[in-house]
Structure 1
Amino acid sequence: MFKKVQIYKTDKYNMLNVEVQGKTLIVREISDQWGEECHTFVSRQEMLHWAENRFRQADFKGTEEERAAIMDNFREV
């Protein structure tokens, strides 16, 4: 049994979920542009580092509030 945490979901083709499987964290990013991408992390710290780089403030296309909500969701995992 594993825990699934939704980080964001804009529609059924654009979403990001984290699955907690014991000590392993699996990030599933689904987009209508790229399909599904999976990233596996062995620590929460490693996942947060990836998230900071993936959702860099300079490159983020949404508002600062949207970015902050995404990062808060990652920190709550």
Structure 2
Amino acid sequence: MFKKHEIYKIDKYNMLTVEVQGKTLIVREISDQWGEECHTFVSRPEMLHWAENRFKLASYEGREEERDAIIAAFKSV
């Protein structure tokens, strides 16, 4: 059985989840703009590095708390 972590969920068309399958981490990013993107990582540091780059601080100017919550959710996986 895989452990699934919800990073955020706005509605069923905008969400991000992480599935832990043994040592493999699978990030599923679903958006109404781009559809579903799937990223596979072999380590937690690799996934966190991707998250830091995907959710850049500059993109969340004025919404830093939102970004902090997303990064914190990734770190809790």
Q: 2:71 — aligned with what? A: 71
**1:35-77 CA-partner distances (Å, limit 9, x unpaired):** 0000000000000000000000112377111100000000000
Q: Which aligned segments of 4 or more residues in structure 1 are displaced greater than 4 angstroms?
A: none
Unpaired segments of 5 or more residues in structure 1?
none
* RMSD of aligned Cα (Å): 1.2
Name the residue aligned to 2:29. Answer: 29
Gaps of 5+ in 2: none
For 1:49, the equivalent position in structure 2 comes to 49
Question: What is the TM-score normalised by the length of structure 2?
Answer: 0.96
Identity between Structure 1 and Structure 2 (%) = 78
